[in-house]
């Protein structure tokens, strides 16, 4: 009977090359994470030779990010965020605003449309929580004062990014890059094949989306901290 081995070959090639390149980078004094990135490039479609199943690799990457973010949650709590809020909160917001303005300004000089320039600036304004967490763990500074500030800073960036992703469809309609009504459908999770909606309907959709995010966060902070530990203990 035929067997599908694409999952096995993707995992084997990825982990095997990650081990080799990670070891080489570590011996050269570079972070092992650089070797992991090189391993992904080698088995990707941009280089000759073996090419991993990109669909499976993407799903495995999502699982890896989930597990690493779970590790962030294990090392960081709401109390930790509140303890560094005087530095992390204003610092992250100022950094996001400055980087977004800088990226948007440069790309506007290149002739990019305003909407594209803003999205590019927003992409530059956030750092990778996963990458920094790994670097802090390797240096043994994750539980230090600077480590808690850095992780708190990135958590604030992640929260702002969620709000930005929610508001991007509305921003696209305001800037005229998406037809009226289609942004509301995108924000609601649809495919955009709806009749045109007025501004009030758009802001109502945006408000409903933000409300659902707020309810989810409240449930995780209130119910999740009390109910889930009890269930796991049982």
For the stretch 65-120, pLDDT in tens is 788 777 767 766 777 777 888 888 898 889 999 999 999 999 999 988 888 888 89
How many domains, in total, are found in the chain? 3
Residues 6+ apart with CB under 8 A from 188: 205, 208, 209
Q: Looking at the structure, tell me whether residues 162 and 197 fall in a common domain.
A: no
Residue with tokens 């998406």: 178
Asked, for residue 60, whether it belongs to a domain, the answer is no
Asked, for residue 173, whether it belongs to a domain, the answer is no
Asked, for residue 59, whether it belongs to a domain, the answer is no
Residue 49: how many other CB atoms lie within 10 Å: 7
* 88 within 8 A of 155, measured Cβ to Cβ: yes
Q: Looking at the structure, tell me whether residues 154 and 218 fall in a common domain.
A: no
Q: Which domain holds residue 90?
A: 66-167
Point out the domain boundary residue: 52, 79, 95: 52
Q: Which pLDDT score is estimated for 174?
A: 58
Q: Looking at the structure, tell me whether residues 131 and 105 fall in a common domain.
A: yes
Task: Collect the ranges in the chain with pLDDT lower than 70.
Answer: 1-3, 72, 75-76, 169-202, 205-206
Q: Looking at the structure, tell me whether residues 44 and 109 fall in a common domain.
A: no
Q: Looking at the structure, tell me whether residues 157 and 117 fall in a common domain.
A: yes
> In whole angstroms, how far apart are CA 217 and each of 66, 212, 226?
17, 9, 14
Residues 6+ apart with CB under 8 A from 72: 129, 130, 133, 151, 155
Asked, for residue 208, whether it belongs to a domain, the answer is yes
What is the pTM assigned to this prediction? 0.61
| Helix, strand, or coil (residue 47) | coil
Q: Looking at the structure, tell me whether residues 163 and 184 fall in a common domain.
A: no
* Chain centroid, CA 111 distance in Å: 28
Asked, for residue 61, whether it belongs to a domain, the answer is no
Axis-axis angle for helices 145-174, 54-75 (nearest 10):
130
Q: Looking at the structure, tell me whether residues 204 and 116 fall in a common domain.
A: no
């Amino acid at each position: 009977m035929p067997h599908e081995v694409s999952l096995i070959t993707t995992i084997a090639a990825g982990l095997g090359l990650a081990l080799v390149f990670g070891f080489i980078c570590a011996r050269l004094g570079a972070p092992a994470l650089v070797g992991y990135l090189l391993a992904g490039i080698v088995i990707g479609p941009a280089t000759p030779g073996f090419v991993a199943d990109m669909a499976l690799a993407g799903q495995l990457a999502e699982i890896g990010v989930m597990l690493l973010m779970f590790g962030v949650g294990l090392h960081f709590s709401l109390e930790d965020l509140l303890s560094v809020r005087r530095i992390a909160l204003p610092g992250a917001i100022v950094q996001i605003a400055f980087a977004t303005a800088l990226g948007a300004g440069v790309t506007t000089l290149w002739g990019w449309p305003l909407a594209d320039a803003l999205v590019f600036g927003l992409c530059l304004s956030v750092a990778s929580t996963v990458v920094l967490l790994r670097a802090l763990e390797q240096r043994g500074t994750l539980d230090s004062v600077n480590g808690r500030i850095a992780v708190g800073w990135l958590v604030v960036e992640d929260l702002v990014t969620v709000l930005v992703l929610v508001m991007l469809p509305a921003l696209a309609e305001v800037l005229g890059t998406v037809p009226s009504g289609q942004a509301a459908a995108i924000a609601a999770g649809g495919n955009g094949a709806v009749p045109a909606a007025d501004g009030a309907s758009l802001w109502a959709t945006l408000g409903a989306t933000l409300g659902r995010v707020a309810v989810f966060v409240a449930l995780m902070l209130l119910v999740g901290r009390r109910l889930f530990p009890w269930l796991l203990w049982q």
